[in-house]
């Protein structure tokens, strides 16, 4: 059944940390809803025999219709369960499907977490998308796990007197939006990758987050923030100035984040993947320098109201002449 935030938080806290990722936390889902208008943080919980099935996501109105769709928050999501018993999962899925149709949810799109591999709790269609990179923080000497190119960059940053500071929300967001937007502008990034002031302000009360500034003398050359739960630290958003890129500032921040995560008892630092599925993608190549550990990033979909979905596609084609090759074809 659908539950309110406080109930969702209580249920989420009862689930062991190794079974969940930071972006499934109700706190994160609520924060992420500030990213775009019409995102409604929603929580579905099914309990039976002491076991829990938990699914957190955003519900949004489908443009020009009386219907809705479901998407996971920015990053990763998908359902989690305290058991892999197929009969329990079937009952949970049936309850979720009934709820979805009752709420006029036509279709959903899910990004599963590569470390949790929680697509095994999902009974919709699942597709492999790309590899991601994660660092094993239980390793005794982290630098020994890095590729030569990553070690070289970390040492370069140190040699050039770069310093990483873990700072407060206020200090971090005095710098981050400006640096981040400049980077996105230079990349001519899609609007999806820009964030509003409301989104940034929503992080103000979040405790499961670490804000890093990398400085050269007194100049901020890189800004990165990470969020976490009991066992996983997640690389979220980052940006570096031209000088920061030249001096390998982001490499030093990742190294310092791994040291911090290890000190605080996290098991892994998940860096994510590249901007596409190609193994020669520059971002993936950069991240892979820090670890040979890989996660499979998979996506999922299910169409709850097939007749309505087919009608929407027909009407879209008639009006626009072509259709995007994605399940939420009507969203840019």
Rounded Cα distance between 218 and 57, Å, is 40
Other CB atoms within a 10 A radius of the CB of residue 110 amount to 25
- Residues 21-44, mean pLDDT to the nearest whole number: 95
CATH number of 2-130+297-320: 3.40.630.30
Token readout for 142 is: 């982290």
Tell me the chain's radius of gyration from C-alpha atoms. Answer: 21
Rounded Cα distance between 153 and 293, Å, is 19
- Residues 279-283, mean pLDDT to the nearest whole number: 89
Q: Is the pLDDT of residue 332 over 80?
A: no
Q: Which residue has the tokens 């206020």?
A: 170
Q: Is the pLDDT of residue 75 over 80?
A: yes
**What residues does each domain of the chain span?**
2-130+297-320, 138-266
pTM score of the predicted model: 0.93
Phi, psi (5° rounding) for residue 40?
A: -110, 110
Q: Is the pLDDT of residue 264 over 90?
A: yes
The predicted pLDDT at position 192 comes to 79
Is 138-266 the same fold as 2-130+297-320?
yes
- Residues 204-215, mean pLDDT to the nearest whole number: 95
Computed over every residue of the chain, the mean pLDDT equals 95
Q: Is the pLDDT of residue 315 over 90?
A: yes
- Residues 222-230, mean pLDDT to the nearest whole number: 93
The predicted pLDDT at position 189 comes to 81
- Provide the pLDDT confidence category of residue 184 given band limits of 50, 70 and 90: confident
CATH number (3.40.630.30, 3.80.10.10, 2.60.40.10, 1.10.260.40) of 138-266 reads: 3.40.630.30
The predicted pLDDT at position 96 comes to 98
- State which H helix or E strand residue 201 sits in: helix 197-202
The predicted pLDDT at position 330 comes to 95
Reported in sequence order, the residue ranges of 20-102 that DSSP labels E, i.e. its strands, are: 40-48, 51-61, 68-71, 80-81
């Amino acid at each position: 059944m659908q539950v309110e935030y406080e109930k969702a938080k209580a249920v989420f806290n009862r689930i062991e940390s190794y079974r969940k990722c930071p972006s499934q936390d109700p706190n994160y889902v609520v924060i992420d809803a500030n990213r775009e208008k019409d995102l409604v943080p929603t929580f579905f919980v099914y309990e039976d025999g002491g076991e829990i099935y938990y699914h957190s996501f955003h519900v949004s109105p489908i443009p020009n219709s009386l219907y809705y769709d479901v998407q996971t928050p920015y990053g990763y999501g998908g359902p989690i369960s305290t058991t892999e018993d197929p009969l329990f999962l079937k009952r949970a899925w049936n309850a979720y499907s009934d709820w979805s149709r009752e709420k006029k949810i036509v279709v959903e799109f899910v990004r599963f977490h590569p470390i949790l591999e929680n697509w095994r709790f999902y009974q919709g269609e699942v597709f492999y998308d790309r590899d991601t990179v994660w660092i094993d923080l239980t390793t005794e000497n982290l630098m020994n796990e890095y590729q030569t190119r990553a070690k070289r960059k970390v040492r370069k940053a140190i040699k050039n007197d770069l310093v990483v500071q873990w700072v407060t929300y206020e200090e971090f967001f005095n710098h981050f939006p400006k640096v981040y937007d400049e980077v996105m502008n230079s990349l001519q990034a899609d609007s999806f990758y820009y964030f509003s002031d409301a989104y940034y302000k929503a992080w103000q009360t979040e405790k499961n987050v670490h804000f890093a500034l990398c400085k050269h003398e007194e100049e901020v050359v890189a800004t990165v923030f990470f969020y976490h739960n009991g066992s996983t630290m997640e690389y979220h958003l980052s940006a570096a100035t031209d000088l920061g890129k030249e001096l390998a500032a982001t490499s030093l921040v990742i190294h310092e984040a791994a040291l911090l995560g290890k000190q605080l008892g996290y098991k892994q630092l998940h860096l994510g993947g590249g901007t596409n599925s190609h193994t020669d993608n520059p971002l993936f190549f950069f991240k892979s320098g820090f670890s040979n550990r890989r996660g499979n990033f998979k996506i999922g979909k299910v169409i709850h109201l097939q007749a309505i979905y087919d009608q929407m596609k027909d009407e879209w084609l008639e009006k626009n002449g072509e259709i995007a090759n994605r399940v939420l074809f009507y969203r840019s």
